[in-house]
Amino acid sequence: MKTVLLFLSLLQAIPLIRMEYGKLPDMSTPRCAPVVTSSGESIFAFGGHTSGFIPVATAECFSGGKWQTLDMTYPHDGGFLTALPDGKWMLGGGSEKPFGIGQTFGVELFDPATHSFSPLTIMDRPRAYASAAALPGGRIIVSGNWYKEDGIELYTPKEGFKGIKNTAEARRSPYILPLKDGNALIFGGMDSYGDAARGWVDQLEGEPFSVPLLAEWIPFNFYVSFSPPAQIAPETWLIPAISRTDGSAGILLVQGKTFSLLPTDVPIPRTGISACDIEYAMPLLLDTRRECAWLPGIDTGKRFYLVKLDYAPALKEGRARVTTYYAENPDIGFPKEMGFAICPDGSIAALGGFLTDNFLPVSTAFLFRPLGPAASAGLSRALVPALIAAGLLAAAGAALFLSRRRKKATAQSSPSEQLMQRIRTILEEKQLYKVHGLQVADLAKELGSNTTYVSACINKETGASFNDLVNGYRIHYALDLLTENPSLSVVHVADISGFSSYSSFLRSFRQYTGKTPSEYLSAGQD
């Protein structure tokens, strides 16, 4: 009983942090459940269905602050997308008719460099809501279907698509995890007729096997068909899941053929603002540059959530850190069944979806910035128009940013200046300042340098010590949190900003602002 009460009290104490967001220009076509991804500074939305639940045979590309419509070879509503080693993407399958009825054979290649589509040979069987993954030797494995028999097939450039074997259970939008030996695991949370999957794992090579953990936890059932597994290390993936018994959310850690539950410092919340239930029916978004993954969700009040999983500590026998952000759109709320892509600066684009039902999709495009202003340090020139369009970067600030980038690109920098730039970049992009007890040796290891050189560089280029530099970043982050989320306790802000003790936070806060936190908050309200 004490354990249950402790768990419930912990759930109630989980902070929800308000995040920045803005609107991009609307897409040319309303789209529900588009397949969304990014390449460089461009965001792409493929297919989905439009008004009247009619499949769409176009894609759209957002670049330079505007959308461009691209004609696909086939419509793909419920199609799969997988990246190929040569930089192209394979796009295939989907519903044959309006209203999500039927399946299709069609497969095509998309070249993001030229924005061109080219047809491939057809699949062995028609499919909707299938998944695909690249294997060694140019092979592509495909599995999954919707209201049709399932099975595993392989594509090779020489033979095209060829059926290989049946599956232990049919699945919609399964996970496909390629292993280093050329084998692949296939499993999922929903069968091909909308019921919960039984928990079997199929193999490309070998017999199916059951996983006891999958009898307790069911992988998420995605409305959006494109759900590439979040691979965080060789043969290591994160898979979002729901408890079959109490509906709690968790993350499966798959290492080779071993399944376990990812340990986290706090539970993933199922209740949001105003006690509204949060639904997580969206893919886990991986940001390897910052060693984190994002779990999107929508609550019953149409608020949008992003749960950040800092997974690195869990790979070192610790616990992944969970931080939950939310946004409110007071006019109409946020759509369901949006498609998502991570931008180079860590912001997250969310496209399309619907507000009322599948027959009335929207063309809206949002840009969420849970990491706040610090993330813009890694921003490239091409994404600046998008942030201006979304209202997340003022034009004057953009001009200053671009002028600084030009200066860095043209001026001859000394080795010390170059190292200082790398130090700032890695602190900001990976948010290392939020790591409790961060040492100069930790930073030097990330940089591939040594502690003496890194310390001397910081002192020479900034006139400050390593601790002063890191605490400056921490206070900047804490100020953002206190300003945007005044309901957060100051003690909790100190903790998630990276301070190991509250006294250290207070000392640094006064050093950098000249005020105590309460004085700072009072001054802001005057």
292-325 per-residue burial string, b: 16 or more CB within 10 A, e: under 16: bbbbbbbbeeebbbbbbbbbbbbeeeeebbbbbb
Residue 317 domain-assigned (yes or no): no
Q: How far is Cα 145 from Cα 174, in angstroms, rounded to an integer?
A: 9
The domain boundary, picked from 194, 217, 240, lies at 217
- Return the H-helix or E-strand segment holding 490: helix 490-496
**Quick one: how far is CA 390 from the chain centroid?**
19
- 387 Cβ partners below 8 Å, 6+ apart? 22, 345, 347, 367, 376, 379, 393, 398
The domain boundary, picked from 192, 217, 242, lies at 217
Query: Which residues share a beta bridge with 39?
Result: 42
Phi, psi of 298 (to 5 degrees): -130, 135
Residue 325 domain-assigned (yes or no): no
CB 22 within 8 A of CB 325: no
| Chain position carrying tokens 């998420």 | 220
Computed from CA positions of residues 206, 254, 228, 100, in that sequence, does the dihedral angle turn out positive or negative?
positive
**pLDDT tens for the 526 residues of the chain, in order:** 444 444 444 444 568 899 989 999 999 999 998 999 998 889 999 999 999 999 999 999 999 889 999 999 999 999 999 999 999 999 999 999 999 999 999 999 999 999 999 999 999 999 999 999 999 999 999 999 999 999 999 999 999 999 999 999 999 999 999 999 999 999 999 999 999 999 999 999 999 999 999 999 999 876 665 667 899 999 999 999 999 999 999 999 999 999 999 999 999 999 999 899 999 977 799 998 889 999 999 999 999 999 999 999 999 889 999 999 999 987 789 999 899 999 888 899 999 999 998 899 999 999 999 986 544 444 444 455 565 555 554 444 444 333 334 344 345 668 888 898 899 888 888 888 988 889 999 999 989 999 999 999 988 887 778 988 898 889 888 888 887 777 778 888 888 899 988 888 998 888 777 788 888 877 765 4
| Helical pair 451-462 and 440-447, crossing angle rounded to 10 deg | 100
* Helix/strand/coil for 227: coil
Residue 83 domain-assigned (yes or no): yes
Phi, psi of 31 (to 5 degrees): -140, 130
H runs (alpha helix) in 45-146: none
Alpha carbons within 13 angstroms on the beta-carbon side of residue 54 total: 7
- Domain extent for 168: 73-217
Residue 279 domain-assigned (yes or no): no
pTM above 0.85, yes or no: no
- 498 Cβ partners below 8 Å, 6+ apart? 433, 434, 435, 436, 438, 470, 473, 474, 477
Residue 205 domain-assigned (yes or no): yes
Q: How far is Cα 74 from Cα 92, in angstroms, rounded to an integer?
A: 8
* Helix/strand/coil for 15: coil
Query: Which residues share a beta bridge with 356?
Result: none
Look at residues 278, 290, 373, 291 and name the one whose alpha carbon lies nearest to residue 326. 278
* Percent helix, strand and coil across the chain, each to the nearest 5: 30, 30, 40
Residue 187 domain-assigned (yes or no): yes
Residues 412, 416, 421, 426, Cα dihedral to 10°: 150
Phi, psi of 193 (to 5 degrees): -125, 15
- 227 Cβ partners below 8 Å, 6+ apart? 131, 173, 175, 220, 283, 284
According to the model, what pLDDT value does residue 104 have? Answer: 98
- Find the CATH number of the domain harbouring 155: 2.120.10.80
- Return the H-helix or E-strand segment holding 163: strand 160-165
Residue type (1 letter), 207: E
Structure tokens at 110: 């998309």
Look at residues 128, 215, 111, 231 and name the one whose alpha carbon lies nearest to residue 176. 231
Structure tokens at 290: 């910052």
Residue 104 domain-assigned (yes or no): yes
Q: How far is Cα 346 from Cα 323, in angstroms, rounded to an integer?
A: 15
Look at residues 78, 67, 75, 76 and name the one whose alpha carbon lies nearest to residue 29. 67
According to the model, what pLDDT value does residue 181 have? Answer: 93
DSSP state of 394: -
According to the model, what pLDDT value does residue 219 have? Answer: 94
Residue 193 domain-assigned (yes or no): yes
3-state helix/strand/coil string of 289-336:
HHCEEEEEEEECCCCEEEEEEECHHHHHCCCEEEEEEEECCCCCCCCE
Look at residues 111, 189, 105, 102 and name the one whose alpha carbon lies nearest to residue 142. 105
Look at residues 231, 241, 232 and name the one whose alpha carbon lies nearest to residue 184. 231
The domain boundary, picked from 217, 246, 264, lies at 217
Q: How many structural domains is the chain composed of?
A: 2
Computed from CA positions of residues 455, 460, 462, 465, in that sequence, does the dihedral angle turn out positive or negative?
positive
